[in-house]
């Protein structure tokens, strides 16, 4: 089985940093913030093997763009797959209650 390279875009990386900062400061839980970061990073790294296991988003516009969604606790990891180059592009990480259809 071919492995995929996982690339994390700048918006996704920035939101990951924001998640950690928010949990650490608003909840006064720095260890929980680091645990969440580790969990998200592990989930994204796991996309290197069989990223097709995550469904294509049902929205017509986003499905045409090839966006898929991975659920990690209270966050959605949005990504697309470049089959030709065997690359998974992590586009965004968003809190599940955000209006992600409008944001994406």
Apex CA 77: angle with CA 42 and CA 81, to 5°? Answer: 90
pLDDT band, very low/low/confident/very high, at 59 (cuts 50, 70, 90): confident
CATH number at residue 74: 3.30.2310.20
pLDDT band, very low/low/confident/very high, at 62 (cuts 50, 70, 90): confident
Residue tagged 């950690």 (tokens) = 20
Model-level pTM?
A: 0.88
Terminal alpha carbon distance of the chain: 31
3-state SS string for 66-89? CCEEEEECCEEEEEEEECCCCEEE
* Residue 28 Cα to chain centre, angstroms: 24
Give how many domains the chain has, as a whole number.
1
Please enumerate in sequence order all residues whose Cβ is within 8 A of that of 91, keeping only pairs 6 or more positions apart, or say none: 9, 11, 12, 67, 78, 79, 80, 104
- For residue range 7-43, what is the model confidence (pLDDT) as tens digits? 999 999 999 999 888 888 887 878 888 899 999 999 9
Domain of residue 44: give its range.
5-103
């Amino acid at each position: 089985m071919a492995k995929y390279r996982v690339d994390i875009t700048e918006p996704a990386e920035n939101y990951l940093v924001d998640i950690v900062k928010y949990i650490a400061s608003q909840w006064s839980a720095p260890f929980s913030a680091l645990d969440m970061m580790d969990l998200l990073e592990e989930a994204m790294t796991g996309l290197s093997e069989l990223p097709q296991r995550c469904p294509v988003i049902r929205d017509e516009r986003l499905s045409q763009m090839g966006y898929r969604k991975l659920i990690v606790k209270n966050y959605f990891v949005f990504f697309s797959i470049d089959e030709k180059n065997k690359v998974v592009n992590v586009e965004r990480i968003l809190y599940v209650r955000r209006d992600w259809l409008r944001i994406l």
